[in-house]
Structure 1
């Protein structure tokens, strides 16, 4: 049974810090009044190793929304590490607030102390709203941080590695879906032009693919247009006439309602928790659309920051990230042989590794 731990918790977490959450090993709440830091660290499973996952800095509407997000994300990290063959557990953290107004050195250092208080059970990295430079500051207070800048001894931003992993996964999925791994013959709708989506667009266009982008933020649209001249911009790609839908923003875009509008034959992107509920994959199958499990496709960033722990070189990391193409190919082969979905095949792969591992002390 899992209990929760708390330090000084502000009103946004009232009623949450005493919950029992059987799906997770430990959930930690923390508030630092001096800096305004309100954060949650969720450790889902450490059977394969210490929990490693990014910190999301986001203006959640409520503590309940933040908790729901961190629980889903941390569980996804367990399956991501297991399916990628990494000796890491699953964890995630959220900082509640708008990074544009709340971010400060003092807050980041306070967050570093919070991470450090777990004694290495959780290792943090970057996610939405957190940069490599932010992690440098977090690292002033704890050694349990990866993804810092190269100047600070880290491997730098993991956006390219994540994008390369999605690109590699997309090649394998395209071969399964369309009969060829050549992405240059396809039209890909990318949703989100953040640090991953922007790099994925570059990889796809370098291969000759036609790319259309949906990005609500005016600044991000402008940067994308300046980086990739002639890029086509549209209001939505989830329902666009494209071969591949690549969700690369926040998750939950594939819902029972939105699935009815999907025209792509393949869904493969970097966003976490793309399915609003697990049964959405079956709905996609019924429409003839193939989905690459998000935690498999977007594992490149985890491979990169995980490589910091064993001293891997950038070339070694790149080879491992590109090998996600083989992992996705194997998952589809298993799914076909067992007459199941790619999601079910990926979950079975991850669970086999988890079930074979020894339970951590105290679980």
Structure 2
């Protein structure tokens, strides 16, 4: 079954890592390294079964391939899951042992922080390998990625507005933000500075109070956010929130937000397209964090990273161009953007040879 799944989506490698002393049980999935080494975070979670952990690692790794490719990065997609409770099962040797496994892959996979892991965990991994990002700033990290991710979403939202309204100005536009945590707080700041009107909700009332006080947002209930009168609906919390129940309530013209996996099913992307809604695909618009952390591989330069994040604007416009060209919804056009770039690189690499290891070493060092 696992090999069938891997063959279906053309995965390259699945690595099982076990260390009895520390209790480490990790699975590294490497989907595609056409564009460069696979980069993807390490997630620690209490999976019900080993099979569930494997499928999650594979699914997440493939998503990273598409995000990196669509963002114009010279990186492939990978992901790690560690089976365990991040609240009580962590120990130093676990992450150091895992770092040695990463080092053994000799640069094919580079890890980062993800759900259930922290900067401190990355520092432990860094003790054993250089193939890790998101470490403490003292080791050359870019620090908190939330403001940069928000900047990318803001740029992508402006591009979507240009398609929907004929101008990318958000002044006077009403934006309904679902979930105003770390990323969305900074997004609200950008929107407020441009003169947008904000409607906000969050399960954490302190988050809502903060954007009401600082940015003059209008607060609404968690279930009320879908039906408010607005120009742009910005989902920045949970995934699967574009679904059969919420779509009929939407009054926005544009959907553009930071949340992952916003469409519950592909058919919901078809539904909103048929309704005439302008949808900025999530993994294209929220790629600022990945772009930012990828810059660490070059020796982090914030100005350079932000310049690259600005190109999310162009990437979103390119998605809409492909959707129009091929007569497909934008969620499919985003995949096509990534696939066309990977295919183009595959064709060009067939015409010459080069030393990938030396190139990688120059990048990392």
Fold agreement, TM-score > 0.5:
yes
Gaps of 5+ in 2: 351-355, 357-365
Q: Quick one: distance in 2 between partners of 1:19 and 1:332?
A: 33
- The answer to which structure has the higher helix fraction is 2
Answering whether residue 329 of structure 2 is matched by residue 341 of structure 1, we say yes
- Structure 2 residue 82 is the aligned partner of structure 1 residue 95: yes
Asked if 1:222 is matched to 2:211, the reply is no
| CA 1:268–1:319: 2 relative to 1, 3 Å | same
Evaluate the alpha carbon distance shift between residue 41 and residue 105 of structure 1 in structure 2; reply closer, same or farther with a 3 A threshold.
same
Corresponding residue of 2:135? 148
Which segment is superposed worse, 50-59 or 205-214? Answer: 205-214
SS in 1 for 2:156: helix
State which of 15, 19, 28 in structure 2 corresponds to 1:41. 28
Q: How does 1:74-153 map to 2 (within 5 A)?
A: 74-153=61-140
Confirm or deny that 1:188 pairs with 2:172: no
Q: Equivalents in 2 of 1:255, 1:228: separation in Å?
A: 28
Deviations 1:91-140, CA, capped at 9 Å, x for gaps: 12223344333344343333323333322211111223333333222211
- Residues 1-363 of structure 1: matches in 2 within 5 Å? 21-22=6-7, 23=9, 24-216=11-203, 218=204, 221-223=205-207, 225-226=209-210, 229=213, 231=217, 232-236=219-223, 239-241=226-228, 242-311=230-299, 313-358=301-346
Alignment length (residue pairs): 343
Shift of 1:228: 5.8
RMSD between aligned residues: 2.8
State the 1:215 CA deviation: 2.9
Q: Do the aligned partners of residues 227 and 340 (structure 1) sit closer, same or farther apart at CA in structure 2, a change above 3 Å counting?
A: closer
In 2: Cα distance, 1:155 partner to 1:310 partner: 11
SS at match of 1:188: strand
- Partner Cα distance (1:96, 1:215) in 2: 30
Distance 1:205 1:28 in 2: 46
Question: CA offset at residue 312 of structure 1?
Answer: 5.2
Report the TM-score, using the length of structure 2 for normalisation: 0.83
Mapped to 1, the partners of 2:25 and 2:176 lie a distance apart of 36
Cα 1:116–1:191 shift into 2, 3 Å = farther
- CA deviation digits over 1:303-343, x for unaligned, max 9? 11111222352111111101211221232233234433222
